[in-house]
């Protein structure tokens, strides 16, 4: 079984059955870096992350149906330690088109953006 354990200092430990790899730079890892550690392809990592992001979004939405789409995504971004604009853009692109469309529609409806 493989899993990631985050610490308060922002370090991530990738735990495999035989070994533990500590990632201490504080910079988010690319799919290629994660794949190299876990001996998986970058594409496999990206697909898994996208599926997990989508699943997490829908679980939060079911449990907290009073939250808007933007609030859910911002909360997820905060939980995943996303801080810069470029990180937000990459994170947002991981969501399926229908969820991204909900964000645009909600932002337009609430006049956060113009047509």
Q: Count structural domains, the chain.
A: 2
Pairwise CA distance, residues 70 & 65, whole Å: 12
Supply the mean pLDDT for the chain: 79
d(CA 52, CA 20): 22
Q: Look at 73 and 3; give whichever has higher pLDDT.
A: 73
Q: Is the same domain home to 59 and 36?
A: no
Domain check: are 21 and 66 in the same one? no
Task: For residues 114 and 58, state if they share a domain.
Answer: yes
Its domain, for residue 65, covers 49-115
Give mean pLDDT, residues 95-110. 90
Rounded CA gap, 55 and 49, in Å? 10
Q: Is the pTM of this model over 0.75?
A: no
pLDDT band at 33 (very low <50, low <70, confident <90, very high): confident
Other CB atoms closer than 10 Å to residue 95's CB: what's the count? 19
User: For 67-85, b where at least 16 C-beta lie within 10 A, e where not — what string?
Assistant: eebeebbeebeeeeebeee
In this prediction, residue 1 carries a pLDDT of 39
């Amino acid at each position: 079984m493989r899993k990631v354990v985050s610490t308060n200092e922002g370090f991530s430990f990738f735990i495999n059955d035989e070994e533990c790899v500590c990632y201490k730079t504080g910079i988010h890892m690319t799919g290629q870096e994660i794949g190299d550690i876990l001996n998986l392809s970058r594409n496999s990592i990206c697909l898994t992350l996208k599926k997990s992001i989508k699943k997490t979004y829908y679980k939060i939405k079911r449990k907290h149906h009073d939250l808007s789409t933007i609030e859910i995504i911002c909360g997820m971004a905060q939980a995943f330690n996303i801080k810069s604009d470029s990180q937000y853009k990459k994170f947002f692109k991981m969501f399926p088109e229908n969820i991204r469309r909900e964000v645009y529609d909600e932002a337009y409806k609430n006049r956060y953006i113009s047509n």
